[in-house]
Amino acid sequence: MQPPEILAFFGISSPWAYFGAPRLYDIAARHGARLVLRPIKVIEANGGIPLRTRAQARQDYHALELDRWRRHLGMPLNLAPKFYPCRTIETAAQAVIAVQAAGLDAPAFSFGVQRALWAEERDIADLDTLRDIARATVGEAGVPLMREPALPQHRAAWEANLAEAERRGIFGTPTYVLRDELFWGQDRLDFLDRALGA
């Protein structure tokens, strides 16, 4: 019998994806599920709205919620990190794709990138930063995978992720997919957990 598969569509710079990652990894492990990381960005074609284009009242509330959740989860997070908004997210996102394609520990690397941005004041658009994170999380084998531009197959996988997210009706990140059912937001992880247990 095939193990269940969780597709995790997420923005590498999303604080909500950062908050959800440890619980997502735990849920997948407890249920013996195969976890596939699918880095994307906000899908505007489906109604996703990038944070910096939202009304100021929504941006202010976003910061309030980040503060609530960091205290609730006991996770370090800078409310105004030095390198956010990122100069680009594609380099880091495509690095996650490359690490996963190489069969290395993509969740460890991905969370290392997220933690670097949100808790360590590091520039995840910088190749040297990504190389350091790769070395610390997946070893020397991950270092040459940090490239700009990415290899064509990793760039193609990024584009395929965006196209699939749009096709599935995904608009925001993180969105977790189990058997074609969408669970949007790290605050829906309990529902994902229950669905896997059903």
Distance CA 28, CA 120 (A): 26
Quote the pLDDT of residue 55: 84
| pLDDT at residue number 1 | 79
Mean pLDDT for all residues in the chain: 96
Q: Which of 151, 78, 141, 71 is nearest to 109 (CA)?
A: 141
Burial 155-188 (b: 16+ CB within 10 A, else e): bebbeebbeebbebebbbbbbbbbeeeebbbbeb
| Cα separation, 193 vs 6, whole angstroms | 11
Is the separation of the CB atoms in 5 and 89 below 8 Å? no
Are 9 and 184 in contact by the 8 Å Cβ rule? The answer is: no
Contact 121, 82 (CB under 8 A): yes
**Helices and strands in the chain, H and E counts:** 7, 4
- pLDDT computed for residue 53 by the predictor: 75
Global pTM reads 0.95
pLDDT tens for residues 107-133?
999 999 999 999 999 999 999 999 999
Report the pLDDT value the prediction gives residue 48, as an integer from 0 to 100.
83
Which domains does the chain possess?
5-197 (3.40.30.10)
Each residue of 55-85: pLDDT tens digit? 889 889 999 999 999 999 999 999 999 999 9
Low-confidence stretches of the chain (pLDDT beneath 50): none
Closest CA to 94 of 52, 130, 135: 130
Distances (CA, A) of 166 to 31, 151, 171: 28, 23, 7
